[in-house]
Amino acid sequence: MHILDAFADTSRFRTLRRDIHAHPELGFEEERTSALVARLLAEWGIAVHRGIAGTGLVGVLRGSLPDTGRTIGLRADMDALPLQEVNGFAHRSTHDGRMHACGHDGHTTMLLAAAWQLAQRRDFAGTVHFIFQPAEEMGKAGAKKMIDEGLFERFPCDAVFALHNFNLGRVGNFALNHGALMASSNTWRVTVRGRGTHASMPHTGLDPVGAVLEIAQALRSLVARTIPSTERALLAVTQIQGSDAPNVIPDEAWVGGTVRTFSVDALDKIEARLRHLAGHIAQAHECQAEVMFRRASPPVVNHPAEARFAAEVMREIVGAEMVDEDLPGVLGAEDFAHMLMVRPGCYAFLGNGDGDHRMAGHGPGPCIIHNTSFDFNDDIIPIGASYFVRLAERWLAPDRPSA
Ligand SMILES: [Zn+2]
Ligand SMILES: [Zn+2]
């Protein structure tokens, strides 16, 4: 391990992380967290620009070496989830029904720790942009909102990088790949309109429930008929609604679910096929189908050159045996995808351990994200912070050859 000396004692950042954990705020409501981040960055001499996508903010730090015009963006997310924490330890959530169950308290802290160190060292040529985004969770797309409000015009970034904690078993191992790392997330609903009637006289109506059942069946084999078997994609049928009464054929019925893909191309094909099948099956029943297909988050697709660069830095910090550069894509979704659609960069996972770090008083659940027993592992703060520091220093090294 080559953790920076400055992080040998991270008690200050451990305390900070636990303070943020105790005060979770939902997407676009991160007032306290955002104010805390802004205060610390300013204290360390970093220029702060607030109010980008509401509670989002950017810190700007220029190196002390002659400026090369190069720039890098480092991003952390700040929001919590609407969950009731069951942990009993001292830093548990003080807000009912809100919890840092995805470790964004830790992401914010790791980037702050890196900012603190970079502001002291300043041994780089160019500019670091520290991007603290709101509303990563629940499809609120805070990253997209920041981009729409001019993030990369105001704060140009040659490349952007982000980290997410993950239950990879070990503490402090990195995992990434050079392409599609996380899936696109999309929701769909097919509403079928027929003509309701008494259930004992179906011949007098047009039954939308029958059409919905056939649509649901057809959709369950859609992916295999649409996407090559060498690619991964998923269509789940998870919701179905007919009449409120057992003896009523309703005027309308609906079926819904989620679609996950690792490319926009696969997503285009699946959406087109879904619309085609739903429309024609409904028509065969003399009903009408209305299809809602909402693209919540695009796939997270790493850029190969930046992924290779990031993996180099990871090996410098934790050694080659702790870096998995070929992780199969995972089906979760992540808002950082929007940034990688418009800028080169790399997203990666950092091992949060298997839960041993939780002191007495944690809940009975596993230590995986989006779980009411979860807690971020403070032992990885120095690892993630060292990674961000060295990433910036190497990206902005005066002698780095152009790609
Ligand atoms: Zn999450
Ligand atoms: Zn998360």
User: How does pLDDT run across 129-140, given as a tens digit for each residue?
Assistant: 999 999 999 889
Ligand nearest to the backbone CA of 76: 2
C-alpha dihedral, 191 to 196 to 198 to 200, nearest 10°: -60
- The pTM of the full predicted model, rounded to 2 decimals, is 0.89
User: How does pLDDT run across 268-324, given as a tens digit for each residue?
Assistant: 999 999 999 999 999 999 999 999 999 988 999 999 999 999 999 999 999 999 999
pLDDT of 288: 98
Whole-number Å distance, alpha carbon 44 to ligand 1 midpoint, is: 29
pLDDT at 88 over 70: yes
The type of residue at 238 is: T
Whole-number Å distance, alpha carbon 165 to ligand 1 midpoint, is: 10
Whole-number Å distance, alpha carbon 332 to ligand 1 midpoint, is: 9
357 vs 16, higher pLDDT: 16
Ligand nearest to the backbone CA of 185: 1
Ligand nearest to the backbone CA of 108: 2
